[in-house]
Amino acid sequence: MRRVTLPLVAMGAKVAPADRETLPLTIRGGRLRGIRWELPVSSAQIKSAVLLAGLAGGVEVSVREPGGRSRDHTERLLRGLGVSVEERGGWIHLSPPERLHPFEYEVPGDPSSAAFLVGAAVLAESGELVIRNVGVNPTRTGFLRVLERMGGRVGVVGERDQLGEPVADLVARPSALRGTTVAADEIPGLIDEIPLLAVLAARASGTTVFHEVGELRVKESDRLALIAENLRSVGVLAEAQGNTLVIEGTDATPRGRIRTDGDHRIAMAFAVLGTVPGARVRVDDLACAAVSFPNFPAVLRRAGGGRPR
């Protein structure tokens, strides 16, 4: 949590204990001051925390991300509400308005959740899956660009705008996949989809390499280690070398037990791998998927993905 609390404390927020890395924390309100903050890593959560603190505190703030841009939902929404959010020389600058006005908004479908259904459709033997009203913000659809390089047949249909956010229907079909290389500057736009892309890479011909994915070690679990460990447990050659993940695709039927450590994305990704015909992939805690995708096993079955264990 220090990545979030450090800029907020620099703005005048009171956070205790001051040196604690993890929750629980106690936060006390008070007057905030403006700030210019360079993020240690590209992170929509840290960026949004600073921007929203500036909005709530009525002070100007500027944030700068290293490397690739993280998702920009917060900036788009604030601009749609009339807030001045500008980019200047790599900095994102917010000037707070005197007040925000009430509004109604239909939140688009989450592309990170849709990715698992897309993955199941790509691994299927036949058919077509349509997922309606999915957010296709360019900062969130890096996984679609990587999947296209891998030979994935996924169409984006009927794109439209909802308060600054592009929305469309996704049409996914069975595909013959091939390995690819995912560069470091692509990672911020697909960090949450790497577990899903990893299991798809396990079914692709050739080698897939993900560069600079060390950020996966500080998610709900050490995702990087878990992805490699669990792929090996179902018969796939996979190795996490420093901040690099290397996966050798295979057409051997996946069979084995999956340790999730309660991580929803690990659970859902390997449930998708378990839809391969003949697979026997036993996920130790599929219920943890409910934190981001309630009723995921039933939805996966309804989408034609078999019965994950």
Token pair recorded at residue 72: 């920009």
Closest CA relative to residue 248, chosen from 240, 237, 256: 237
Residue 309 scores a pLDDT above 60: no
Query: Residue 268 — φ and ψ, nearest 5°?
Result: -70, -40
pLDDT digit string, tens, across residues 55-66: 999 999 999 998
Residue 192 designated active-site: yes
What is the rounded average pLDDT of the residues 94-108? 90
Amino acid at 44: A
Buried b (16+ CB within 10 A) or exposed e, 163-201: bebbbbbbbbbebebbbbebeeebbbbbbbbbbbbbbbb
- DSSP 8-state symbol, 102: P
Query: Do residues 53 and 75 lie in contact, with contact meaning Cβ atoms separated by under 8 Å?
Result: no
pLDDT at 308: 46
Over the chain, what is the mean pLDDT? 93
What is the rounded average pLDDT of the residues 13-35? 91
Q: Which position has the higher pLDDT, 293 or 20?
A: 293
pLDDT confidence of 189, banded at 50, 70, 90?
confident
pLDDT digit string, tens, across residues 118-159: 999 999 999 999 999 999 999 899 999 999 999 999 999 999
What is the rounded average pLDDT of the residues 176-189? 94
Closest CA relative to residue 151, chosen from 131, 175, 134: 175
Strand pairing of 61-64 and 35-38? parallel
Q: Is the peptide bond before 17 cis (omega within 30 degrees of 0)?
A: yes
Candidates 192, 222, 251, 284; catalytic one? 192
Nearest-angstrom CA–CA distance, 85 and 92: 7
Query: Do residues 277 and 123 lie in contact, with contact meaning Cβ atoms separated by under 8 Å?
Result: no
pLDDT at 42: 85
What is the rounded average pLDDT of the residues 162-177? 94
pLDDT digit string, tens, across residues 192-235: 999 999 999 999 999 999 999 988 887 777 899 999 999 999 99
- DSSP 8-state symbol, 286: G
